[in-house]
Amino acid sequence: MRALVIGEALIDIVERDGEVRGEYVGGSPLNVAVGLARLGRPVDFLTHIGTDAHGVRIREYAESAGVQLVPGSDAASRTATARAVLDASGSATYEFDIDWALSGTPEAAPPVVLHTGSIAAVLDPGCLATKALVDTYRLSATVTFDPNIRPALITDADAARSRIDRLLESADVVKVSDEDLRWIDPTRTPEQIAATWLALGPSIVVVTSGSDGAVAMCANGTVRVPAGHVDVVDTVGAGDAFMTGLIDALWSMDLLGADRRGPLTDIGTDSLTAAVRAGTLASALTVARPGADLPDRVALDAAAASDILG
């Protein structure tokens, strides 16, 4: 009953008003791995970092949260960085120095859930290995996917869209931002695109819209959940925290694993609402703190008891 997360890990260098405000361990998949571990879930993480100082910092950060790095994850020549520039509202734009590569079959037990997305889904050459591993582990696992598009890294938009489509066909649960959907297809509304994606095979498609909350679709209907009432420090890691809370809630509902694919497909709107609220709550706690500082179980349970979502 372990999670396997596949994707990039890097150092976020955060700037605001022309000044570096801090350096944080980041990367969307890493944030999800750490977030799940902080909630008490056993997690294996397959990534591509170096043995340099940044790589050592990432390993120590992940392992301190309880994440187990898959052997071979430190084979990169250097560890990636991302410069996150914050605007007045705390929203981040990114500039990357990264390469993404994977090789061989990871030494990890068959997971109950496999999560991937972001750079790992579209960047050559590692994206091809990522898709192959998704197809391999789908025999045992629920597949969760967050495109988390980084336009600054995409040189061929059509190829990136095609790679996202192929992963959608293997995914069971998809979380995507309205901003990403507008990049994917500016001619349709995010909800129209999400409905199309649901028809491709996923059991759940969730669209997050920042302060406007989230909308989620399944075979039994559509639900809407408002955003939390918190003072936003920055939005770094907000979507990753949402994904973490969503996965954790579905795990608690015993809806993860290939043998639970039928019940997941039949999820009711009440259960879907509860899962989306859990994701929204985790996201709200994260945006109230600087950097991608996802909550642990104690903080999440306390916030749920205080009902900050209303």
- Is 308 a member of any domain? no
- Indicate which CATH number applies to the domain containing 79: 3.40.1190.20
User: What pLDDT, on a 0 to 100 scale, did the predictor assign at position 17?
Assistant: 85
d(CA 119, CA 127): 8
Question: Which domain does 100 fall in, by range?
Answer: 3-296
pLDDT band at 310 (very low <50, low <70, confident <90, very high): low
- Is 304 a member of any domain? no
**Residue 309 clears pLDDT 80, i.e. is over it:** no
Round the average pLDDT of the chain to a whole number and report it.
93
Listing DSSP states for 132-163 in one string gives HHHHHHTTTSEEEEE----GGG-S-HHHHHHH
Q: Give the burial string for 258-280 (b: 16+ CB within 10 Å, else e).
A: bebbeebbebeeebbebbbbbbb
d(CA 192, CA 205): 11
pTM reported for the whole predicted model? 0.93
- What is the number of alpha carbons within 13 Å of residue 223 lying toward its C-beta? 21
What is the tens place of the pLDDT at every residue in 105-135?
A: 777 788 999 999 999 999 999 999 999 999 9
- Is 108 a member of any domain? yes
- Is 307 a member of any domain? no
In the chain, how many domains are there?
1
Q: What mean pLDDT do residues 246-262 have?
A: 98
pLDDT band at 99 (very low <50, low <70, confident <90, very high): confident
- Is 263 a member of any domain? yes
Listing DSSP states for 32-54 in one string gives HHHHHHHTT--EEEE----SSHH
What is the tens place of the pLDDT at every residue in 209-246?
A: 998 999 999 999 999 999 878 888 888 789 999 999 99
- Is 310 a member of any domain? no
With 0-12 / 13-18 / 19 or more C-beta atoms within 10 angstroms meaning exposed / middle / buried, residue 180 is buried
The secondary structure of residue 125, as a DSSP letter, is B
The secondary structure of residue 259, as a DSSP letter, is G
pLDDT band at 104 (very low <50, low <70, confident <90, very high): low
At 206 the three-state DSSP class reads strand
- Is 27 a member of any domain? yes
pLDDT band at 193 (very low <50, low <70, confident <90, very high): very high
**Residue 91 clears pLDDT 80, i.e. is over it:** no
- Is 205 a member of any domain? yes
